[in-house]
Structure 1
Amino acid sequence: MSEDRKRPPEAVETETLDAGSPESEVLEEAAVADNGEPTPETRIAELEGEILGLKDQVLRTLAEADNVRKRAAKEVADARVYAVEKFAADLLNVSDNLARALGALPDEEREVLTEAGKNLLGGIEMTQKELHTVLARHGVTAIDAAPGATFDPNMHQAVSQIPSDQPSGTIAETFQSGWKIGERTLRAAMVAVSAGKPS
């Protein structure tokens, strides 16, 4: 009995198939489908999808990190500007008292002051000037509330409306100076708003 006769018929048929024949490719595809593995094309598509997802996550993470960095930089800058807000507000009373002291002496009486009186007056003026310089160095500046200036409810507090030579709706008189720190109003200026020329 020959060797071929001892083998089962299926084994003989399998061995006789060429590696590149259509029957061989069908068997290979069937084997891939049978063991549950995805085809190479499917696997490539899955991996490309994962890559796109990871790229999107990286871009979102970078954008979020940039936003956090910008927010932190703004908070640091704001803290630097507004850290002295309460202290500056307390110093405004000192500025007011100096202004009252200087305003209590009429101009005509300044001329008849003794040398000591003139020195005292000059010292008060220098102290006020230095105080305003120090405040400005820390971002605290006076609000424009001169007669004729445009009334701004964000920076001016109207306590009355009076007839005035100033155009209607502008500031006619200032009762208390106003101050701002950075872009914030530290203390609104107390003013009278012009109602226009008296009739």
Structure 2
Amino acid sequence: MSDETQKPEDQANPEAASEAVIDENKGDPAAETPAGAPAEPQKPSLEAENAELKDKLLRAMAEAENIRRRLERERADIARYAAAGFARDMLTVADNLHRAIESISAEERAAASDAVRAAVEGVEVTERSLLSTFERHGIRVIRPLPGEKFDANLHEAMFEVPGAEHAAGTVVHVVEDGYMMGDRLLRAARVGVAKGA
């Protein structure tokens, strides 16, 4: 400002007048831009940055939720199948009990002494108790019947039996029972399969 345009009170204190001019322009971005130009060139970039940050936040939240769900599913599987190794080991015990019972025919049982019959009954009770315990823990027996269609998901073919008396691809003989724990196969039933003519 020149001295000629100053008001009389400003002439008395020229420093105050210059400070007033500076204060008027301070902090006003429009004062630094040419007249008529909008002072919002940063607004679109801030909105874009805000949208990008919102997108990142939503993605991070979705990923955290997916991780939480996966961990819950894994925890449930661990709880459900924690005893699978132990159960597999116990299958041998069940097999041996079953073999012991099957090794004595009905005729031998009838001709046996009371002590032998009591021992056989004790083995049968033990097998039933073990299978009952298996059931309580979600383990079930896969015992295919002769003539049942061979299922590679549940059965393991140990040998083929030639002959026309059985349809090809059907179970003829069960070597060992199979077992499932929940929806998982602990051991496939080991079977002989008809070869067909």
The answer for unaligned runs of 5 or more in structure 1 is: 13-27
Q: Distance in 1 between matches of 2:94 and 2:70?
A: 35
SS of residue matched to 2:58: helix
SS of residue matched to 1:111: helix
Match of 1:65 in 2: 64
Segment of structure 1 superposing worse, 84-93 or 145-154: 145-154
Q: Distance in 1 between matches of 2:29 and 2:147?
A: 92
Match of 2:44 in 1: 45
- Map 1:1-199 → 2, pairs under 5 A: 7=4, 31-33=31-33, 39-40=39-40, 42-162=41-161, 163=163, 165-196=165-196
Regions of 4+ moved over 4 Å:
none
TM-score by length of 1: 0.74
Segment of structure 1 superposing worse, 185-194 or 112-121: 112-121
Q: Distance in 1 between matches of 2:148 and 2:181?
A: 20
Q: For the structure 1 residues 182 and 98, does the alpha-carbon distance in structure 2 shift closer, same or farther, using more than 3 Å as the test?
A: same
Q: For the structure 1 residues 100 and 29, does the alpha-carbon distance in structure 2 shift closer, same or farther, using more than 3 Å as the test?
A: closer
Q: Would you say the 8 A contact 1:32–1:39 is kept in 2?
A: no
1:29 deviates by: 8.6
Q: Distance in 1 between matches of 2:127 and 2:165?
A: 30
Segment of structure 1 superposing worse, 143-152 or 92-101: 143-152
Q: For the structure 1 residues 29 and 175, does the alpha-carbon distance in structure 2 shift closer, same or farther, using more than 3 Å as the test?
A: closer
Q: For the structure 1 residues 85 and 109, does the alpha-carbon distance in structure 2 shift closer, same or farther, using more than 3 Å as the test?
A: same
1:48 deviates by: 2.3
Q: Would you say the 8 A contact 1:164–1:172 is kept in 2?
A: no
1:193 deviates by: 0.7
Q: Distance in 1 between matches of 2:30 and 2:87?
A: 84
Identity percentage of aligned residues: 37
The answer for unaligned runs of 5 or more in structure 2 is: 8-27
TM-score by length of 2: 0.74
1:49 deviates by: 1.9
Q: For the structure 1 residues 109 and 68, does the alpha-carbon distance in structure 2 shift closer, same or farther, using more than 3 Å as the test?
A: same
Query: How many residues in Structure 1 have an aligned counterpart in Structure 2?
Result: 173
